Every structure is written in structure tokens, then in C-alpha cells.
Amino acid sequence: MKFPFKAFLSILFVVLPSADASPLRRDTGKATLSFAARVNARGAVNVADADRARAQAMKQAGSMGKRAGRSSFTIANGVVTYTAQVGIGSPATEYTLLIDTGSSNTWLGASAPYNPTSTSVDTGNTVSVSYGSGKFSGEEYTDTVTLSTGLVIAEQYIGVASSADGFDGVDGILGVGPADLTEGTVSNVNTVPTVTDNLYSQGIIGTETLGIYFVPPSVPDSAGELTFGGHDGSKTTSSVTYFPLTTTTPASYYWGIDQSISYGHSTILSETAGIVDTGTTLILIASDALSKYQTATGATMDETTGLLMITSGQYDKLKTLTFKIGGQAYGLTPNAQIWPRSLNADIGGASDSIYLIVGDIGSNSGSGLDFINGYAFLQRYYSVFDTTNNQVGFATTPHTDATCN
């Protein structure tokens, strides 16, 4: 499956069945779906440019405020992908949908046509969503959505595209972001419930939370998990600590938190608002903070990859990069600060070079969205997105201090 890079902004993974007969595991009001990273070796991809474009689009959309037709954003780049086979209707037709925590509309019809069944109801409302370099519009339906055995949602709002641009190779999106991101996208309604909303309201899960377990792609067993209705304690090595969502806009329209960042003993970004985003590959920080980080590490900019590059001698001297959230410190070791060297070729880099995974968000601090803790952070810490209590949580995992890169 080929995903045109210009159609997307950021990172994806492929949902694959586990070794069991079913990829779903249930445990008292929660359900876990396994997935595994799959690398698409398609030549050079400037990950930094893609991430920065996504960040700027999210800032612009968030600054528009509610009821302004705010855009949502997919999670994709040309290096790693993830999708899910989702059943729609009864009997169900399977569609290949992108799993996206950065948007909240679930829709299909970009490739395979919608197959209405006895459970399909046309609401008469129209739907339109822009994803930066991709967009769709069409009719809003309700229908039965089957994520897996035991995860069957009745009367889920879905968009059926009559026009879709930028989604070659997939049928649409399974949106699992905050429900407010649907505001202004469907006519005659304020917002529409997400699949997570309905899993909770229909009693399928016990709390409206989504736990995400990423694994560094350089780890031999790179299987990860999405857990609806809680988190999987077998994947963590500490308890989950929760933090309230930020009230600062535009970060508050997403999974936003307040944090500061230090390198060694020096603060490079004072406490400010930003977001946690599975759809961003790197860790993006404000331009003035990145300048301090670059000076401290001695890195130079590599124009091909768009990433900061260091020598092996500079790598040996790297200090811990610490994210302080609500008084709790989350550190990235030197190994966690570098791009997996086994994937250098996939971003157009040299096999023997060392690239840093901290990039420029594209504006100085004070914008209201001064950092993005992306996949490079989340592959070292388990994350929980809790709609019920308006909070985000983190826990350590066996990979927090791994030297796999």
C-alpha cells in the first residue's frame, strides 16, 4: 500500500492481528487492540518539514476557536504507517481506516464505496473536514461500527464521502481525538460523538479513556496497543500519573498540557502550553528553545533530513532531556534523543550519521502551543488520554531507558 507523502502530515502505524485468534483482549470494562509498526522504505522523507507543517496548521486551526469550521489533522508520514480494518453495517463491510488521535470524525468512501445495509441511516446532514493537505465532504450517516469482537458500536455517526482528496490507498479515518474537534464539521448539529464517546455511553467500556503503548521501531518485537476504557498495566513499570489539560489556547483544543523542558541542569523552555500528539513524529519545541538545545549539544543542521546532527563524540556527551509536568520529571536518555540509526536511510540520512529527534515547531515561545510531545516521546512513555476527567497521564515502560537506537 502506497501513501503519497504530500497527502499527509506526520506518523502512522499498521494494526495487525496478534498471535491469538483475535487481536482483542477484554478485561472488565476495557478492551485492547494490538498493532505493530511497519516501515515503508520509500526514499527520503523530510520528517521535520512534515511535522512543522502539521504543527503550524494545528496552531492556525486552534486559533480560529470553536464554531469556526476548525480543521482536523491526520497522522501520517512516509516512514511508518498504521491502519485498522473496521466493519461498517450489518452484515459488516470492512474498510481500511487510519487511526487518528488528532481528529475526531469517523468517515469512509475515499477509496471503496459505502455499502449501506439495514442499519444504515442517512441523517440528511452534510459533513466537511479539511486535513491540511487532504479533505473530504459528503453525507453524514449513522451505522453499526465493528472495531473487533466485543467492540461493536450501534448508531455511530460516520461520514460518507462524495468527494475526497489526498487519501489514496485508504478508505477514510477512524477519529479518536477530542469530540470538540467535530464542531462545525456536520450541518445542523453542534458536535458528533466519537467512537470512544459511544463505546462509553453504550456501556462497552467503563471509562472514556484511551491508553496507548508505543514501542521504538528498532525493538525486535515492536507490537503496540490501543486500550479503550483504561490502560494496560502489564505494559507499564510505574503507576500512571495524571495531569490536567491546559487552559491556554490553542493548545487547549487538543490534548494540551503545561510543561517545562531542561537539558542537563539548564532550562531551555520555561513552563508553557503545548500538546501531546501521536500524529507528530518528533518532539517539536519553540524556535528559541531549539536554539538553546542546539548550542548545548553542539549539533549542526542537516538540510537533507531537516534534523539536527551530532558526531559520535557529541553523542557520548549528551545529557538527559527532561520534561517537567506538574512537578513530575520525565527524562529522555541520550539514546532516546536520537533517531533510530537503523531507519536513517528511510529519511534520506547517511547510515553512519546520528540525528536528534528534537525539532523546530516554527515559532518562538509564547504562541500558546510551544511544544509537541510526539511519537519520539511517547515510544518511551505509556500515555493515557482521559476524556472523563479531562486529563492526560504517563507511566514508564520497559523501553523508557532502552538503548535500542
Q: Among all residues, which ones are annotated catalytic?
A: 100, 277
End-to-end CA distance of the chain: 27
Residue at 49: amino acid letter: D
- Cα–Cα distances (Å) from 177 to 80, 173, 190, 196, 353, in that order, read 20, 11, 16, 9, 36
Compute the Cα dihedral for 332, 335, 339, 343 and give only its sign.
negative
- Cell numbers given for 232: 494496560
Alpha helix segments (H runs only) across 263-392: 287-297, 312-316, 375-378
Cell of 2: 502506497
Q: What is the DSSP letter of 233?
A: G
Count CB-CB contacts under 10 A for residue 52: 22
Residue labelled with grid coordinates 499498521: 14
What is the CB neighbour count within 10 angstroms for residue 372? Answer: 30
At 219, list the grid cell.
525493538
Respond yes or no on whether the N-terminal peptide bond of residue 250 is cis (omega within 30° of 0): yes
Q: Which residues pair with 245 in a beta bridge?
A: none
Q: Which residues contact 130 (CB under 8 A, 6 or more apart)?
A: 71, 72
Read off the C-alpha cell for 136.
Answer: 473530504
H or E segment and range at residue 51: helix 47-63
Neighbours of 213 (CB within 10 A): 26
Whole-angstrom Cα distance, residue 56 to residue 363?
9
